[in-house]
Copies of this chain bind each other. A is one copy, B any other.
Amino acid sequence: MKERDNLYDMPYSDLAVEATAAVRGDAHTEIPGVRMHEERSDAATVSWVEVFSPEGEQVIGKPIGNYITIDSPGLRRRNRELQEQVGKVLVDQLAKLLNLGAKESVLVVGLGNWNATPDALGPRVTSKLMVTRHLHDYVPADVAGGLRKVAAISPGVLGITGIETAEIIHGIVEHVKPSVVIAVDALAARSVERIGTTVQLADTGINPGSGIGNQRKGLNKNTLGVPVIAIGVPTVVHASTIAHDTMEALHTQFQGQKAFFQLFNSHEERREMINQVISPAVGELVVTPKDIDDLIEDMAKVIAGALNAVLHTSVGSQDLLRYLN
C-alpha cells in the first residue's frame, strides 16, 4: 500500500474507476483522454478505464494505460461459490492483459507489510501460489508441461528491510529475467463499499506519487525493463475520507445556503476542520472492517487461485480454490 504524504487535501483513491467517477460527477460527462466501458454479469461488474493521452493522465491522476475493475459486492458475505465465480472472471481478464506466450516466465511480487494486517494482501497471495521456476531444472520437460516457470517473492517494506522495495525487485529481475512481473498490493479506496469487494488490474505497474523528494522508484516497464501488471484490492479507506464525505453529505443537504458553499470552496478551512476530527498526530488512521483478517485471507485465496489457473495451463479454472498452498 502506498504511503501518503498529504491525506487531507482531497479524498484519495488508488482505483482508476473511482478517480474517473470523481471527475465525471453525477453528470457522467466525457473526460478528454479517457475511455470507459462497463459490463455486468451475475457474479461481478467489470469496468474498463483506458487512459490514452497525457491530458487524461493529468485529469484523473493515473498514468496512461488500461485499468480493469472487477466489482462484486457479495464477496463481503464470504460465499465460496461467489468467490469461485469472481475468480473465473479474474482469470479471463488477467489472460487478456497478460497475453502470455507458452514459454514466457513470470515473477509475482507480493508488495506490502506482512506485519500490518490491512497491508498484508501481497505477501499472503505469494504464500499461496504454485511456485515452479526451480522445478524446470530438475524434472523432465513432459512432467513440467502445463506448469509455467513461476517465481514469487515478498520483499517486505522499507521499515522491515531498510531497502527500497524497487531496489530489491530490480536486483532480482536482473538475475531471474522474467518475461513479465505481476505485482500484488493492497489499495486504499474512496468508498467503504469497495473494501474487499473490488479487484483492480492495471498494465501500468506500480507508480509512486509524484511529490518532490519522493525517492521511491516505481515498478513499471520503464524501471524494470519488462511489463508490470498490477493487481490490487482495496482493504482500507483513509479516515479523513469519512470526514470529507460527511461534509459532502451535509453540503448536499444544505445546498443553496451561502455559508456552506463558502466553506466548501475554502481549501484551508476544510483541511483544518478535518484535522480537528482526525488528529494527524495519531499517525495514519484507516477505516477497515473489524474482520479484516478474514477479508485479507479470502481475497488472497481468490487472487492466488486465479493466478495459478491463468499461469499454469495444467490447473483448471473450475477448481480455483482447491490447489492453494
Which residues of A pack against B, CB within 8 Å?
1, 73, 76, 80, 115-119, 127, 131-135, 137, 149-156, 158-164, 167-168, 170-176, 192-193, 195, 215, 236, 239, 242-243, 245-247, 249-250, 253-254, 257, 259-260, 263, 269, 273-274, 276-279, 281-294, 321-323
Contacts and interface: CB of A to CB of B under 8 A. Distances in A.
Q: Which of A76, A246, A321 has the most chain B CB atoms closer than 10 A to its own CB?
A: A246
B162 A193 contact: no
Contacts of A175: 163, 167-168, 170-171
Nearest to A289: B283
Closest 6 CB pairs of A and B: A171-B171, A133-B162, A151-B162, A246-B246, A131-B162, A242-B242
A287 B238 CA distance: 9
A290 B236 contact: yes
State the copy count for this chain. 4
A80 B325 CA distance: 11
A303 to B, nearest CB: 17
Given A134-B159, A171-B172, A282-B76, A273 B246 contact: yes
A289 B278 contact: no
Contact of A117 (B76, B242, B283, B293): B293
A152 B292 CA distance: 22
A249 B236 contact: no
A215 to B, nearest CB: 7
A292 B116 contact: yes
A140 to B, nearest CB: 15
A238 B127 CA distance: 27
A50 B257 CA distance: 46
Contacts of A242: 239, 242-243, 246, 277-278, 287
B285 A287 contact: yes
A275 B129 CA distance: 34
Given A195-B282, A273-B250, A282-B76, A161 B152 contact: yes
A248 to B, nearest CB: 8
Contact of A254 (B259, B276, B286): B259
A323 B162 contact: no
Contacts of A236: 290
Contacts of A273: 246, 249-250, 253
